[in-house]
Structure 1
Amino acid sequence: MSDINHQVGIKATPEAIYELLTTNSGLSQWWTNDVSGAGSVGSIIKFRFNGGGPDFAVTQLTPNKSVIWKHVGNIPEAWMGTNISFQLRVEGDQTFVRFTHSNWKEQSNFMAHCSTKWAVFLLSLKEVLETDKGKPFPNDIHIDHS
């Protein structure tokens, strides 16, 4: 099994970050503008990119500390059985977000693509909190020409 890991420091409170990780309106400010279903543990969040996209079950919420999702959809196929976690840690005047997309069956070109895109979206999360202007899909940074 393989994992994607990233960490970003954000000049924001864990409460502000947690809000953007656990609500439809928050998630739509930094990942994709089409989000539904965010809520308590057991909720199924549907993230859509031009109509299609992944579904995640919320499996754990520790307010202002961690958010964990399990992929429950069938697309993308490579994400089946994977988990996403956001761990929040305050140091000085910033909150570090440690992101992990775990349990990939194999390393692949698609995994490398997703790793880069996760970095793009984590920087979008940072931007929305520090400048009030995130870059969710479809306004994100494109990393290929298709």
Structure 2
Amino acid sequence: MSYNIYHNLIIEVSPEQVFVAVSQPRYLDNWWTLKSSGKPELHAEYNLNFSDTYDWYCKVSKIETNKSIHYKMLKSDDDWNPTTFGFDLESTQNGTMVKFSHINWPELNNHYKYSSFCWAMLLSGLKQYLEKGIIVPFNERN
């Protein structure tokens, strides 16, 4: 059995703007990572760096420009290694419906619960970044 995290939110910008923010490393660094690298292409590898201890890797497992991007973890915490996280985007009257998922967690443990909370906070930061241009300094992000 595996466990999944889902969060949906509306961001009042275009799907193209959201897609860039969740797929381009220089913009990922504005709301999530300390520094990252990679290209939004199928099977491309990304480096997600949060610190010397948390220097993770994933690959693009699904992509449709301006509509969807999913990342399969390759090297991370043991709990994260079997997981895939992604963003599915739908245009709405008020902007973009972001359907976030982080699936295939091996255990319903404290790390899973904490990660779900952190994703909610980070997605709120993504919303603030895209709608208002607010960039929370990395050391202040949860």
TM range (shorter): over 0.9
Q: Which residue of structure 2 lines up, in the alignment, with residue 110 of structure 1?
A: 111
| CA shift digits 1:16-48 (9 cap, x unpaired) | 000111111111111022111233112111111
Task: Return structure 1 stretches of 4+ with deviation > 6 angstroms.
Answer: none
Q: TM-score, normalised by structure 1?
A: 0.90
Partner secondary structure for residue 18 of structure 1 = helix
Q: Which residue of structure 2 lines up, in the alignment, with residue 69 of structure 1?
A: 71
CA distance, structure 2, for counterparts of residue 115 and residue 54 of structure 1 = 18
Partner secondary structure for residue 78 of structure 1 = coil
CA distance, structure 2, for counterparts of residue 28 and residue 136 of structure 1 = 10
Instruction: Say if 1:136 and 1:19 are closer, same or farther in 2 by CA, change over 3 A.
Output: farther
Residue 54 of structure 1: how far off its partner (Å): 2.4
Q: Which residue of structure 2 lines up, in the alignment, with residue 47 of structure 1?
A: 48
Unaligned runs of at least 5 residues, structure 2 = none
Q: TM-score, normalised by structure 2?
A: 0.92
Q: Which residue of structure 2 lines up, in the alignment, with residue 129 of structure 1?
A: 130
CA distance, structure 1, for counterparts of residue 136 and residue 77 of structure 2 = 22
Residue 103 of structure 1: how far off its partner (Å): 0.4
Which residue type is aligned with residue 109 of structure 1?
N
CA distance, structure 2, for counterparts of residue 54 and residue 29 of structure 1 = 17
RMSD of aligned C-alpha atoms? 1.3
Q: How does 1:16-35 map to 2 (within 5 A)?
A: 16-35=17-36
Q: Which residue of structure 1 lines up, in the alignment, with residue 83 of structure 2?
A: 82
CA distance, structure 2, for counterparts of residue 49 and residue 126 of structure 1 = 20
CA distance, structure 1, for counterparts of residue 3 and residue 10 of structure 2 = 24
CA distance, structure 1, for counterparts of residue 39 and residue 138 of structure 2 = 17
Instruction: Say if 1:123 and 1:36 are closer, same or farther in 2 by CA, change over 3 A.
Output: same
Q: How many residues align?
A: 140
Instruction: Say if 1:136 and 1:70 are closer, same or farther in 2 by CA, change over 3 A.
Output: farther
Q: Which residue of structure 2 lines up, in the alignment, with residue 38 of structure 1?
A: 39
Unaligned runs of at least 5 residues, structure 1 = none
- The 8 Å contact of residues 78 and 105 in structure 1, kept in 2 or not, is answered as yes
Which residue type is aligned with residue 22 of structure 1?
S
Residue 11 of structure 1: how far off its partner (Å): 0.3
CA distance, structure 2, for counterparts of residue 43 and residue 139 of structure 1 = 29
